[in-house]
Amino acid sequence: MAAWWKKNHQPDTDEMTAASGLYRRLYRSLDSVPEQLVMRTYCARYAEDGGFDLPALIPQVYLHYNPYTRRSGKQSGALPRQRMDFLLLAPDRSRIVIEVDGVQHYGRPNPPNDTGRITHTAVPRLYAEMVAEDRRLRLAGYEIYRFGGWELTQPHAKQLVQDFFTELLARHQKPAL
């Protein structure tokens, strides 16, 4: 992916500079501090020996996009619930979706309280829609891993993400020929 970025966006730079530019561009697309932690933690592996051989972690990916819905004026072209936080195409050809779930995945905001703090009320319908989409994606051949946004704000969050990626990459190595 870095070689493609270099060729198409930064042809007069070396691969490391182009890769850094690509990282900064992708990082700006992230919606939350927990998502930023996932991206920073994974991308730190690129600096390790053999890091450029790792699969790309692509943030904010639309798995399906229908240009006809855009032309109809009814939607943006993005199908509902199709934007995933991260997509990783593993060496064993697995398609892996990583989601970081904030409260918007399962609740709706209440009016601010006396202190101005906004709380949320759980909405079972939102949760049911999310798990129904997970089932559909799994049947379509995707693996889905979810993190609760809250767990990625805790002191051990970086280690949790590092351990997750270590296990995930070990599980999805390129098959031996």
Q: Where are the domains of the chain?
A: 1-30, 31-171
- The pLDDT score that the predictor gives to residue 64 is 59
pLDDT reading at 44 higher than 60: yes
- The pLDDT score that the predictor gives to residue 77 is 45
Residues 28 and 20: beta-carbon distance below 8 Å: no
Q: If you average pLDDT over residues 127-135, what whole number do you get?
A: 90
100-126 tens-digit pLDDT? 987 777 778 888 888 888 888 888 888
47-103 tens-digit pLDDT? 898 888 899 899 998 875 444 444 555 544 444 556 889 999 999 999 999 999 877
Token pair for residue 142?
């995707």
Residues 107 and 121: beta-carbon distance below 8 Å: yes
